Amino acid sequence: MGLTIGLLYNLGKDEAPRDDEPPDIHAELDREETICAVTEALRSYGHHVVCIEANEHAWGQLLQSRPDIVFNLAEGLRGESRESHFPALLEMLGIPYTGSGVLALALSLDKPMAKRVFLAEGIPTPAFEVVPPGAAPVSALRYPLFVKPAHEGSSMGIGPESVVRDPCALGQAIAHIHRWYRQPALVEEFLQGREFTVGILGNTEPCFLPIIELNFEACPPEHGRVYSYQFKQEWDDWRYYRCPAPLSAEETALLQATALRACRALGCLDVARVDLRLDDEGVPNVLEVNPLPGMTPGFSDLPRMAEVAGMAYAELVNRILEAALERYGMLPAARSLQTA
């Protein structure tokens, strides 16, 4: 008999947006197939799984089921710190959970604050400016620039038009973010080098999964070198990804070290995926850190990396769980339950 695991999640990826919402408003939410896959992965290791939608009723369900630990996939319902809401609730209830804590989740979703932490820690990241609603850009960043929402994930608000090359296009891109996403716009200097994503499992002895390089050459020329929402939704064939990325041992080590520094600077735990681009001198710059990476089998980046590493999906899910159990000092007890 294994542990009782609460699986905390938010469904809704397939819901249609309202007329006043952007088309990618539900991009961060999970599909039912993802929840079923994670549930089956946990059950295959002998655990009992209680599925709990992360909404206003989750409090009562958590109190009733009292899981030994929660496998956290919850993106939250609303607000700029939404990914941290349910971990805060779990901490108040004294329930252990997988993945990063409240502060790391809030920092990583607030991209400007995360970049300020990177700068304070000496971690390369593109030069940037934050433009609140109603304001105009005032700094002298170098074109081309890249404009995206300050508090979103899953490439929300990102497309070919995010790359701007003159003040007129910049104003239009910023106005788009303000109108549709109702939040500040993050304006960065656009690095035109290769783009990678690095997956990390574990804590004191982190495991790096094979690095993915985005193959922009396979995209239509008019799309440009942008890992957009369209890219993620429409171009999931392996020809759009290089994994493992064609890198030297030195290049691989530098990307991994930079990604790990970024994760530790934010306080990420158990699992994370880090997006990086090379600047003109070949230095990896951190674009963002995702402590709640997508888990859709055969689609999301992290399961793709694990597949290339020869790691079955069930093993990936349970490696994340075991990293959390080890942190909480629960791993020996969990293993004894599995063999009982």
Q: Look at residue 19 in the predicted model and tell me its pLDDT.
A: 61
Q: Look at residue 85 in the predicted model and tell me its pLDDT.
A: 94
**What does the alpha-carbon distance between residue 241 and residue 216 come to, in Å, rounded to a whole number?**
8
In this structure, is the dihedral angle defined by the CA atoms of residues 298, 303, 305 and 309, taken in order, positive or negative?
negative
User: To 10 degrees, the CA torsion angle through 39, 44, 46, 51?
Assistant: 10
Q: Look at residue 220 in the predicted model and tell me its pLDDT.
A: 83
Among candidate residues 8, 47, 7, 37, the one with its CA nearest the CA of residue 338: 47
**What does the alpha-carbon distance between residue 184 and residue 31 come to, in Å, rounded to a whole number?**
28
- pLDDT per residue rounded down to tens, the chain (340 residues): 699 999 999 987 556 666 666 665 556 678 899 999 999 999 999 999 999 999 999 999 999 999 999 999 998 877 788 889 999 999 999 999 999 999 999 999 999 999 999 999 999 999 999 999 988 887 789 999 999 999 877 677 788 899 999 999 999 999 999 988 889 999 999 999 999 999 999 999 999 999 999 998 888 888 888 887 777 777 778 889 999 999 999 999 999 999 999 999 999 999 999 999 999 999 999 999 999 999 999 989 999 999 999 999 999 999 999 999 999 999 865 665 555 5
Q: Cα(first)–Cα(last) distance of the chain, in Å?
A: 6
Residue owning tokens 């922009």: 216
Q: What domains are defined for the chain?
A: 4-98 (3.40.50.20), 127-189 (3.30.1490.20), 195-291 (3.30.470.20)
Q: Look at residue 62 in the predicted model and tell me its pLDDT.
A: 95
HEC secondary structure over the chain: CCCEEEEEECECCCCCCCCCCCCCCCCCCECHHHHHHHHHHHHHCCCEEEEEECCCCHHHHHHHHCCCEEEECCCCCCCCCHHHHHHHHHHHHCCCECCCCHHHHHHHHCHHHHHHHHHHCCCCCCCEEEECCCCCCCCCCCCCEEEEECCCCCCCCCCHHHEECCHHHHHHHHHHHHHHHCCCEEEEECCCCCEEEEEEECCCCCEECCCEEECHHHCCHHHCCCCCHHHHHHCCCHHHEECCCCCCHHHHHHHHHHHHHHHHHHCCCCEEEEEEEECCCCCEEEEEEECCCCCCCCCCHHHHHHHHCCCCHHHHHHHHHHHHHHHCCCHHHHHHHHCC
Q: Look at residue 14 in the predicted model and tell me its pLDDT.
A: 59
User: What is the value of pTM for the model shown?
Assistant: 0.91
The CA–CA distances, whole Å, from 290 to 40, 171, 177 equal 24, 28, 21
Q: Look at residue 1 in the predicted model and tell me its pLDDT.
A: 64
Q: Look at residue 206 in the predicted model and tell me its pLDDT.
A: 96
